Structure 1
């Protein structure tokens, strides 16, 4: 099956190879320090930014009118990303696709040390897109930002020379499928759990603490007349 996805040994023999070689070729025109920075971002920076988007969505969800339902959605986004990575393990074992720097030794500027394991599908693309789709189900604005991070991650994985574009697309598809297909079951389980937690000592994890209403008489406006004292009850018999 790997032969169906992999680029042929002759260079320039597939669109997959043409795209990754062109994107990776950009590194030759950039300063080495910038190449190193982009490689770091592709390996660690963008996935971390996706996690931070998950955190930002959780902080937003705690302030909503139905915080338990929203927080359950954020929790599912994180769990879906983990499940998608697990699902990718048998996919990689089945496909067994060599990475581009393995199929075309010496033809790419490999910008980072990487083991020569299976290339399809990309774990990084799978993770970032699963997070993005899960966040989108909770908050569309944050979801679009997270999707932008996933697309950037896919580009950077090709830039450093460790994935073909179809590896990236396969990861996007896997992350999206796991998140959407299992969402109804996951939300049916996680939403009651979030409601239960909201009634426990861990309630601040679900809902942002709201200020208690003020008690007693309202103070007079600054500069206004002082409040009148309470009048004694009239003597109706007088």
Structure 2
């Protein structure tokens, strides 16, 4: 496919043609599947993964249990917020770089999605999915690894679809990761008191823990332990 690239020694364009060239030999149904997953499907899966992580943390009362619930939930809430911040940061970047879509400057690109008229660098889809993946990793490593894997797949799909250069995707990965990690300490510090307040509130506390713990009742969560009230009653009976 490099003969179509007319790119000289540009590895970015060569890799674009190599990956996008796979679409020319793939069945039509496969291209349509990649189109859906790359445009909408993987974003939906990422949202479902965040919800699943929330459900898991809620049932366990935090990744480490006990008082860790509020901080773990704060880290999880930061994941979608960071994705939104990263997209906003990308707005001036796109306007400054003004890189056209690859099919504008290069012939022979098999474009699976029409109507893309905005600039190419950096990829919003790659930015969002990697920000969610890294944000999930901060909250829960297992879910985070799955999210990062989905983000890598999203990046491949964007190049396969002919709407981004590989460097657009790498730039999106770097932007999403940077926003999450650089702002995570401040964001978690600000969000943790909010999560603690919600945890102690009636009704909304179940968003943080599936079984909220009342004051002075922590001992009842330990197998074989007795609450102070039960211990006192048994001592009097004796």
TM-score range, shorter chain: 0.7 to 0.9
Q: Which residue of 2 aligns with 1:132?
A: 133
Q: Which residue of 1 aligns with 2:115?
A: 114
Report the Cα distance in structure 1 between the residues aligned to 2:115 and 2:189, rounded to whole angstroms. Answer: 40
What secondary structure, in the 3-state scheme, does the structure 2 residue paired with 1:119 have? coil
Which aligned pairs between 1:85-100 and structure 2 lie closer than 5 A? Answer: 85-100=87-102
Q: Give yes or no for the alignment of 1:38 onto 2:40.
A: no
Correspondence for 1:81 among 58, 80, 83: 83
Correspondence for 1:11 among 6, 28, 31: 6
Larger Rg computed on CA atoms: 1
Report the Cα distance in structure 1 between the residues aligned to 2:6 and 2:43, rounded to whole angstroms. Answer: 31
1:108, distance to aligned residue in structure 2 (A): 0.7
Deviations 1:57-84 (A, max 9, x none): 1111112322211111100011001111
The answer on whether the counterparts of 2:49 and 2:147 sit within 8 Å (CA) in structure 1 is yes
The answer on whether the counterparts of 2:116 and 2:163 sit within 8 Å (CA) in structure 1 is no
Deviations 1:18-69 (A, max 9, x none): 1111111101111111101111100001111111111111111112322211
Deviations 1:177-236 (A, max 9, x none): 0000101110111000000011113111111126999xxxxxxxxxxxxxxxxxxxxxxx
1:12, distance to aligned residue in structure 2 (A): 2.5
TM-score, length-scaled by structure 2:
0.82
The answer on whether the counterparts of 1:100 and 1:161 sit within 8 Å (CA) in structure 2 is yes
Deviates more, 1:93-102 or 1:201-210: 201-210
Q: How many residues align?
A: 205
Deviations 1:95-130 (A, max 9, x none): 0001101111x4111111132211000000000000
In structure 2, the gaps of 5 or more residues are 218-238
Give every structure 1 segment of 4 or more consecutive aligned residues whose post-TM-superposition deviation is greater than 2 Å: 209-213
The answer on whether the counterparts of 2:73 and 2:208 sit within 8 Å (CA) in structure 1 is yes
Change (3 A) 1:33 1:77: same
Q: Which has the higher helix share?
A: 2
Q: Which residue of 2 aligns with 1:226?
A: none
- Pairwise CA RMSD: 2.0
In structure 1, the gaps of 5 or more residues are 1-9, 214-238
